[in-house]
């Protein structure tokens, strides 16, 4: 029994984790979310909380709405590029962070940018402090969606959208994937927006323009294009969204009915703007850890009975 207690202790360590506190409501005459809707949204929250280890609390209101598909209103703040650059250096934990910082200079990547704007949630991840109010309000039109994130549910609802994907899209923006293109201020995600061509060959220069004569790409190192931004079909999407893919991706500017989508590249973008991704041990490392723990437990057991 003592050996089992020791073995349990070896696996009882816990890392800091992002905490997202949801409040559920409805606006515009929409009905309240169903229990299935809330369960789906909570599963999205769990995914992000398990992905990032920043010891911060983000307060988000989720409202059921009856217009559009998804929308968000997020609290933002501005500071100098130098301040953000310094904090990104201090916050770096991943290989993507290292590559991103190698492509960032001490001066702003867009020469006429006078400041950098961030969501409050992004600011919290970089060590800024704010009040206890709501960091973002997200509207989701659950009436247009299916709330079981399964292939069977997608096949059974060919004209409806994946609520899991819609909620992930809006949560990405609340946390920090929004763009300042079309405005006067550079957002943190715009550090990694590069000019390129239609096939993803990058020119090396940053893209902070509304011009449709260029293709804008998300890249961490300025060499490898990871996803194309919505440069040509801005309405009804945002410049911080991707183009529409097949199969669709979470941050596409328009949803695709009857399809599932899970966050992927979007999580890498959140990583390089200041969130810290959890490190998942390789399966071989887990096996070695387990064998080592069992051997240790057996030694303790043998010693006790001697």
pLDDT at 183 (0 to 100)? 84
CA-based radius of gyration for the chain:
22
pLDDT at 140 (0 to 100)? 98
Angle, in degrees to the nearest 10, between helices 2-10 and 283-305: 150
Those residues of the chain that have pLDDT short of 50 are 1-13, 282-306
Task: Provide CB contacts within 8 A for 305, sequence distance 6+.
Answer: none
pLDDT at 15 (0 to 100)? 59
pLDDT tens digit sequence for 214-268: 899 999 999 999 999 999 888 777 999 999 999 999 999 999 999 999 999 999 9
Q: Are 21 and 59 in contact (CB under 8 A)?
A: yes
Instruction: Determine the 3-state secondary structure of 145 from DSSP.
Output: strand
**Cα(156)–Cα(95) distance, integer angstroms:** 40
Task: Provide CB contacts within 8 A for 18, sequence distance 6+.
Answer: 48, 49, 51, 52, 53, 54, 55, 56, 58, 275
Q: List the domain boundaries for the chain.
A: 18-179+255-277
Which of these, 47, 250, 281, lies nearest to 162 by C-alpha position? 250
pLDDT at 182 (0 to 100)? 87
Task: Provide CB contacts within 8 A for 72, sequence distance 6+.
Answer: 136, 137, 138, 139, 170, 173, 174
């Amino acid at each position: 029994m003592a050996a089992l207690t020791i073995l349990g202790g070896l696996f009882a360590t816990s890392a800091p984790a992002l905490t997202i506190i949801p409040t559920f409501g409805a606006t515009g005459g929409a009905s309240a979310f169903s229990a299935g809707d809330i369960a789906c949204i909570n599963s999205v929250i769990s995914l992000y909380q398990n992905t990032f280890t920043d010891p911060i609390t983000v307060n988000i209101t989720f409202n059921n709405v009856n217009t559009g598909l998804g929308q968000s209103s997020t609290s933002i703040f501005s500071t100098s590029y130098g301040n953000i650059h310094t904090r990104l250096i201090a916050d770096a934990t991943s290989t993507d962070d290292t590559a991103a910082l190698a492509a960032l200079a001490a001066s702003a990547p867009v020469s006429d940018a006078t400041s950098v704007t961030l969501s409050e949630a992004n600011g919290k991840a970089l060590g800024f402090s704010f009040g206890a109010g709501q960091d973002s309000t997200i509207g989701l039109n659950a009436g247009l969606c299916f709330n079981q994130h399964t292939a069977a549910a997608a096949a059974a609802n060919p004209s409806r959208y994946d609520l899991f994907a819609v909620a992930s899209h809006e949560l990405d923006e609340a946390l920090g994937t929004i763009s300042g293109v079309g405005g006067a201020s550079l957002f943190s995600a715009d550090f990694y927006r590069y000019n390129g061509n239609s096939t993803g060959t990058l020119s090396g220069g940053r893209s902070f323009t509304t011009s449709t004569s260029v293709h804008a790409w998300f890249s961490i190192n300025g060499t490898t294009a990871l996803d194309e931004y919505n440069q040509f079909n801005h309405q009804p999407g945002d410049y911080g969204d991707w183009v529409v893919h097949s199969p669709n991706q979470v941050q596409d500017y328009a949803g695709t009915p009857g399809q599932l989508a899970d966050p992927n590249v979007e999580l890498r973008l959140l990583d390089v703007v200041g969130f810290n991704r959890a490190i998942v041990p390789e399966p071989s490392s887990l096996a070695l850890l387990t064998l080592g723990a069992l051997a240790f437990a057996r030694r303790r057991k043998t010693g006790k009975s001697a």
